[in-house]
Amino acid sequence: MVKKKTSQVQKYKSMVMRHKVKSVLIAFLVFMLGLWAYSSYLDWRNVQDMERLLSAMQELKKDVEAETGEKLAIEADCGSVGKFAESYSCAVYVINMAQTKKIEWTRYVEAQTFTKYRCEVLSGGRSEYKNALACYQKIRNTNKQKAESIFYQYDSSPGLPR
């Protein structure tokens, strides 16, 4: 009788142990799947933000050209700063090519767009960037090639194949 109880207790203990191991493995797999899904979502959202920024700039260019008659251009520069830089970002500019009129950018751009895309009106520096609108987008490291393909047609960086 004692042997019977001992074997039943051991069976019960091994069953409990298997259940614990299975539970921990399932929890670990769900956690890892969640991390992967969240990272994929952030990548997808980053690409969507890039596309929205570019389409907003194209629409802004079209609206301002129609209203002011000025010739505008869109330029983009993507890259990182420094030899061992971790962050990668793109700057998108709407430039007044003729420079005959001063454009009131705040009149055309909503305040939330200024904060969402970190936009600013440039007033100094090189002559082509005077009275230009610049917006900046931080790019996730996994999206560098997608960013370059999205902004490629507007990129004026030296060394790019044209």
Contact 139, 43 (CB under 8 A): no
One DSSP character per residue, 94-115 reads EEESS-SS---HHHHS-HHHHH
Q: What's the one-letter identity of residue 93?
A: Y
Determine the longest span between alpha carbons in the chain, in angstroms. 103
The residues pairing with 96 across neighbouring beta strands, listed in sequence order, are: 72
pLDDT at 162: 41
Tell me whether strands 132-139 and 119-122 are parallel, antiparallel or unpaired. Answer: antiparallel
Please determine, for residue 31, whether its predicted confidence score (pLDDT) is greater than 80: yes
pTM strictly above 0.85:
no
Dihedral angle sign, alpha carbons of residues 41, 116, 58, 149: negative
Least trusted range by pLDDT, from 17-21, 61-65, 71-75, 81-85: 81-85
Mean pLDDT is lowest, of 17-21, 28-32, 40-44, 130-134, for 130-134
Domain ranges of the chain: 44-154
